[in-house]
């Protein structure tokens, strides 16, 4: 389980990336490196890290569902994720 501060930091980064997306894209298009450098560091999408929305786990992240493999397996076994069944043969 990840610390709440790490989840909060990631959320702040995500908000900053969305806020500066258009401005950043226009600066990159015209090649204006000086104004790009003036933007906040956390406005860069490269600084985002995929973390599980439930536990905050960073490894074993499934992009399609936005959760880690551990949580995916648990929720699939409970039948919470629509269209996902545990294989049995």
Strand, helix or coil for residue 74: helix
The first and second tokens of residue 40, run together, are: 């906040």
Q: Where are the domains of the chain?
A: 1-48, 50-84
CA distance 53 to 47: 17
Comparing 26-30, 51-55, 85-89, which segment has the lowest mean pLDDT? 85-89
pLDDT of residue 89: 77
pLDDT at 3: 87
Over residues 1-21, the pLDDT tens digits come to 778 998 899 999 999 999 999
Residue 73 above 90 pLDDT?
A: yes
* Cα angle 62-42-16, degrees, rounded to a multiple of 5: 80
Give the predicted TM-score (pTM) of the model: 0.77
Taking only the tens place, the pLDDT of each residue in 75-84 is: 999 989 999 8
């Amino acid at each position: 389980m990840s610390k709440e501060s790490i989840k909060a930091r990631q959320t702040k980064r995500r908000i900053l990336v969305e806020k500066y997306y258009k401005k950043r894209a226009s600066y990159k298009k015209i090649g204006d490196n000086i104004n790009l450098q003036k933007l906040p560091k956390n406005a860069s999408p490269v600084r985002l890290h995929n973390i599980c929305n439930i536990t905050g786990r960073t490894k074993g992240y499934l992009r399609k569902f936005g959760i880690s493999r551990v949580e995916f397996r648990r929720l699939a076994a409970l039948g919470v994720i629509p269209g996902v069944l545990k294989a049995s043969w």
